[in-house]
Chains A and B, each alone.
Chain A
């Protein structure tokens, strides 16, 4: 008798958890892409650097960003990619020089961090399951550490674990971070895999494309012209 009673409670609890999760999920999906509260003066910003051309595009965007607002900035690049963070550092240094702030403050404005790559070029699929899990855990750790309000990414696979974790944190209410995704200029007719994932799953708050052909195909995207 007692067992069945507990089972009844369990069912109620399960039902409650499931319905709360569903309500919360619907709520989060509804608010994605819509602006949040009256915005604070500073927005901590996470910038995911890809590699090569991706990094070049991203840094061009960072260059014209309203820099006193999107502060502090956290730069993340794949662990195998040393060039990107170096380039970001050069950019941040030049920003400081322009502003005439001493070297003391650079640690407050910009942080640089590397992240595990979920899949190397040519890696086998079985080991890539393991590395993907590792990448997600690492992304979770970094996201809990930084808790950014804005995430800007344009990149290859590196940004997927970050965006996934950001969405989960949104759902459980740890941090609401707006995700901005800029599709690479190299994508003219089709979205990249990461772009497609973020677009189809409604993970990105705003989705930018650089070619009008893409905008016609994916109407929720914003066409912004070429960045490069």
Chain B
């Protein structure tokens, strides 16, 4: 296996592996990382330090100072400065949460995502798999982690091009821009429209119209439903509606 120069700095420096389980717990991952098998593989790869963010889990890894040439192991539960640890790490092993994944990819660090098989609705693995197919990261399970570390080729990883939220913003803007042409068919001219008044907030319009035969109608539009009521006293209704508008605005 050839090691790529892109992610690998000289061996004299500290080569930290940072493990994160996210905001909950993932004991299977902590146990797997703490196993001798995985530690050996990491050591063979030239990593010197192992830092584990273990969350609320119960499985506590064994600390080690690493003076005898083995891997130095340290852990903590939560920290506000996870981004700093990520920045100083040369390999990140993470749970499959999208937050951790994209934070790592944006930093351009090599990443192994370990899927939590204990979760009931395990959709998170989908994202890891599709990104693994595109060669942005490696995908593993707690059981196969040591194999993945042994066989992974860091040089084959491609940098992740950051996504763009602009298309959504544009679509949203456009969908709000087009005028609604046929609305005029449904809504009668309004004597009184309460749409934006703070007092009376129902989107409803009232109008008094004269029909062709000379009869008067009180129209109540309920954005869409138009109710026409025959009325003998149109002037009274107009007065009432104006009064109502005056009160509510």
Cβ contact within 8 Å between A53 and B99: yes
Cβ contact within 8 Å between B225 and A188: no
CB contacts (< 8 Å) of B243 on chain A: these are none
Cβ contact within 8 Å between A28 and B180: no
Chain B window 210-242, contacts with chain A (Cβ cutoff 8 Å), 1 for yes, 0 for no = 000000000000111100000000000000000
CB contacts (< 8 Å) of A188 on chain B: these are 126-127, 129-130
CB contacts (< 8 Å) of B164 on chain A: these are 225-227
Residues facing A in B116-139 (CB within 8 A) are 123-124, 126-127, 129-130
Closest to A56 in B: B99
Instruction: Give the shortest distance, in Å, between B115 (CB) and chain A (any CB).
Output: 12
Instruction: State the CA gap A64–B168 with chains docked (Å).
Output: 9
Q: How many interface residues does A have (CB within 8 Å)?
A: 55
CB contacts (< 8 Å) of B165 on chain A: these are 57, 60-61, 63-64, 227
Cβ contact within 8 Å between B223 and A175: no
Chain B binder among A3-11, A36-44, A104-112: A36-44
CB contacts (< 8 Å) of B1 on chain A: these are none
Cβ contact within 8 Å between A147 and B201: yes
Residues facing B in A22-63 (CB within 8 A) are 23-24, 27-28, 31, 34-39, 43, 52-53, 56-57, 60-61, 63
CB contacts (< 8 Å) of B123 on chain A: these are 186-187, 190, 192
CB contacts (< 8 Å) of B22 on chain A: these are 52
Instruction: State the CA gap A66–B222 with chains docked (Å).
Output: 31
Q: CB of A119 within 8 A of chain B? A: no
Chain A binder among B12-20, B32-40, B45-53, B170-178: B170-178
